[in-house]
Structure 1
Amino acid sequence: MTDFNDKQIEILQAAEKLFAEQGFDGTSVRDIAKVANVNIAMISYYFGSKEKLLEALIIYRISDMRLQMENLYREDLTPLEKIDRLIELYIKRINRNKSMYQIIHFEISSGKRIINCDAFNEIKKHNLEILKNIIAEGQDKGFFRKDVNTILIPTTIMGTYFHFQMNKPYFKDILNLNTPEDIDNYVNTELTRHIKQTIKALLTYEN
């Protein structure tokens, strides 16, 4: 399910806010109902359980990334320009929804509960196929190396971003980032530029 009605989206946004503030375990369905201004029965009707609500939230947050990547692939750009735009898209999305991604990765990695990740993984696989097509286009045109490990490109992008976020107090200190705006600006400029340079080095031939 990737199409949600307005009431479902209100519930999902309320759940996201509370999961980020209180954690999954610390949030009750009653809490979500109160913030979304609906009754518990409506949440049960739409989603069934808190776990299913989390799964729906994951799909809600990543499904439109698929459309954006498909549009990017069709644009009249060079393969390297497409990669640059793709990195910007990744970073802006993750940065805008970082609390959601932190919830997802904690819940999946902790193994405390079984979350059905099939739909999540299907969308990620589809996005990976688009990335593979962009890289294959660059290889065919002689821009990119033939021995690229495409599967690890998103890992490199997101791993760099999340390392920065997990060590924010350290980076705030050494980079003199005093406000949330300073941090966002750094992420969207210097960190994004560094990630582009890293990915370009992995994709292209040495000069």
Structure 2
Amino acid sequence: MEWNEKQIRILEIAEKLFAENGFDGTSIRQISKEADINIAMISYYFGSKEKLLEALLLYRTGDFKMELESRVAKEQDFLKTVEDIVELVVKKIHRNRRTYKIIHFEYSNENRNIDFDSYIEQKKENYKLIQNFVERGQKAGVFAKNIRTELIIPTVLGTYFHFYYNKRFFQSLQYLNEPADIDQYVTEILTPHVQKTIKALLTYEV
């Protein structure tokens, strides 16, 4: 989906406020004021706060499938492709961690009247890409046979979010005093660690 400049401004301000105040703690009026855009314009583009959140999910996750396709389509060593996929996922969630925080909280709220169908369909398509890649690796004799493909991405996400939600501990432990230090740690330490973990899971035969 193509987004114009005003829509992107609204989505990014909404993301910031949802992450800081929660979905219930943020009003359309607050979003309008901070984005310096008329409330009527927000209603025109998105209709409601729930529809605004649905649009935010698509805005932040919509291009992931294309990026993933480009990684798995490369003619290169299977294990190098695994490294590329892990790097992509970690970069994506680190850059968009506010949105993922909102998604995880709202998705678990069964009383919320938000349509996650498009988001779920995107996740299914991404899973199929990884499943096909794993099957090719198995046929080539590179990957083990007993792989739970549906748990590969959750393993990556689990490692990242453990770090993210325990950031103060890691800041103290690893002397990560500035935001740039955290970015560097994610890129140079956490990502290679997860790459090794996933490669081990894919190649270890029980």
Does the pair score TM above 0.5? yes
Q: Distance in 2 between matches of 1:136 and 1:48?
A: 43
Q: Distance in 2 between matches of 1:79 and 1:56?
A: 35
CA apart distance, 1:135: 0.9
Corresponding position: 1:190 with 2:189 = yes
Q: What residue in structure 2 maps to residue 177 of structure 1?
A: 176
What letter is aligned with 2:104?
H
For 1:136-160, what per-residue CA distance to the aligned partner results, in whole angstroms no more than 9, with x for missing partners?
A: 1111111000111000000000011
* TM-score when normalising by structure 2: 0.94
What letter is aligned with 2:32?
A
CA apart distance, 1:112: 4.7
For 1:157-176, what per-residue CA distance to the aligned partner results, in whole angstroms no more than 9, with x for missing partners?
A: 00110011111111112222
Corresponding position: 1:199 with 2:198 = yes
Corresponding position: 1:118 with 2:117 = yes
Q: What residue in structure 1 maps to residue 93 of structure 2?
A: 94
Q: Distance in 2 between matches of 1:180 and 1:107?
A: 27
Q: What residue in structure 2 maps to residue 22 of structure 1?
A: 21
Q: Distance in 2 between matches of 1:203 and 1:73?
A: 15
Q: What residue in structure 2 maps to residue 144 of structure 1?
A: 143
CA apart distance, 1:39: 1.2
**Unaligned runs of at least 5 residues, structure 2:** none
Give 1:30-49 correspondences, 5 Å limit.
Answer: 30-49=29-48
Distance 1:188 1:112, change over 3 A: farther
CA apart distance, 1:5: 2.5
What letter is aligned with 1:26?
G
Corresponding position: 1:70 with 2:81 = no
Deviates more, 1:61-70 or 1:31-40: 31-40
Q: Distance in 1 between matches of 2:142 and 2:204?
A: 8
Q: What residue in structure 1 maps to residue 51 of structure 2?
A: 52
Q: Distance in 2 between matches of 1:117 and 1:77?
A: 35
* TM-score when normalising by structure 1: 0.94
Q: What residue in structure 2 maps to residue 4 of structure 1?
A: 3
**Unaligned runs of at least 5 residues, structure 1:** none
Q: Distance in 2 between matches of 1:52 and 1:32?
A: 14
Q: Calculate percent identity across the aligned residue pairs.
A: 52
Q: What residue in structure 1 maps to residue 160 of structure 2?
A: 161
CA apart distance, 1:27: 1.3
